[in-house]
């Protein structure tokens, strides 16, 4: 009986691989930018699962780019060091002392943990920040917020070079200023700007919600830019979903084929979104 059950499992696996063929062909050599955040960053098993999926993408010919956040880890380190944080309009004021801690945590601890997870799964991950090779040049987003940046120039040449060597870039959302300052950049914003500069085939924003919901609470699996604007105007899209949909709109209007707000709590969410009809969130097209 056990052998029969195992045979059924193998057959199901083979069928799944066979059915994935059109999607594998569709995304061959495609660039997919993934914003990684949420609960998976703090869970070793979820981190390993995400890393395995990213390595699989590279193995089947996709060029994945991982852009990560790290807010909870920054909060923890600021508390340990006794650095006080002030918030304006829900956004952290980043002074000179705070931006040093932000860079230490994002480019150091968080970035290297993701790189290590990818390498442990047989991939070739390399950690960068937006400061490397002038990848992301920023202006201040708002003078009240200090060293919080808005990307104004993104030069992705270094990423194309890494793709040629089958390397998976892992990018911390930091940028450089015109006068050499270090800027903290929202992770979603950084991912959208990098995806637009790469003219990426897909931008995946992994989050801890199911996706964009209508007034009845149902997840909408596909939306147009016009529908997103209408739902934002009437209050259906609100709160923390607004920055994500704004990032999606900016991306799809600047050369990204589609952006999906993905429920990162779902096992193998990235693979479900790219290689099956099922999907794992809300896709937004221009």
The verdict on residue 9 lying in a domain is: no
Cα separations in angstroms, 248 against 8, 27, 181: 41, 20, 27
Domain span at 41: 21-285
Q: Within a domain: residue 133?
A: yes
Query: Which residue would you say has higher pLDDT here, 6 or 77?
Result: 77
Residue 6 is assigned to a structural domain of this protein? no
CATH code assigned at 276 = 3.40.1160.10
pTM over 0.75: yes
pLDDT confidence of residue 135: 97
Non-local (6+) Cβ contacts of 75 within 8 A are 85
Residues 6+ apart with CB under 8 A from 201: 27, 30, 31, 32, 256, 257, 258
Per the domain annotation, does 12 fall within a domain? no
Residue 2 confidence class, pLDDT cut points 50, 70, 90? low
Which tens digit of pLDDT belongs to each residue from 46-95?
999 999 999 999 999 999 999 999 888 898 999 999 888 787 766 778 99
Top mean pLDDT of 72-86, 160-174, 223-237 is at: 160-174
Number of folded domains in the chain? 1
Tokens of 110: 């968080």
Residue 187 lies in a domain: yes
Answer for the pair 260, 203: CB distance below 8 angstroms, yes or no: yes
238-283 tens-digit pLDDT: 888 888 999 999 999 999 999 999 888 888 889 988 988 777 789 9
> Please, what is the average pLDDT of the chain?
89
């Amino acid at each position: 009986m056990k052998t029969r059950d195992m045979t059924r499992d193998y057959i199901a696996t083979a069928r799944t691989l066979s059915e994935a063929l059109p999607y594998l062909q569709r995304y061959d050599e495609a660039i997919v930018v993934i914003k990684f955040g949420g609960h998976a960053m703090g869970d070793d098993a979820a981190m390993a699962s995400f890393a395995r999926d990213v390595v699989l993408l590279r193995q089947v010919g996709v060029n994945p780019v991982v852009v990560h956040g790290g807010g909870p880890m920054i909060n923890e380190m600021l508390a340990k060091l006794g650095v006080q944080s002030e918030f304006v309009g829900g956004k952290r004021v980043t002074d000179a002392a705070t931006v040093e801690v932000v860079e230490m945590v994002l480019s150091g601890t968080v970035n290297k943990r993701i790189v290590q997870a990818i390498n442990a799964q047989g991939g070739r991950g390399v950690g960068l920040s937006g400061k490397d090779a002038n990848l992301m040049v920023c202006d201040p987003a708002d003078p009240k917020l200090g060293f919080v940046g808005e990307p104004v120039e993104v030069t992705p040449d270094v990423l194309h070079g890494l793709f040629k060597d089958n390397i998976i870039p892992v990018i911390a959302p930091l940028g450089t200023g015109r006068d050499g300052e270090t800027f903290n950049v929202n992770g979603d914003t950084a991912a959208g700007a990098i995806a637009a500069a790469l003219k990426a085939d897909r931008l995946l924003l992994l989050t801890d919600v199911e996706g964009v919901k209508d007034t009845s609470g149902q997840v909408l699996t596909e939306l147009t830019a016009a529908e997103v604007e209408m739902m934002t105007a009437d209050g259906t899209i609100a709160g923390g979903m607004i920055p994500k949909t704004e990032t999606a709109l900016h991306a799809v209007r600047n050369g990204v084929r589609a952006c999906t707000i993905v429920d990162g709590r779902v096992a193998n969410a990235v693979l479900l979104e790219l290689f099956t009809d099922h999907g794992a969130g809300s896709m937004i097209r221009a």
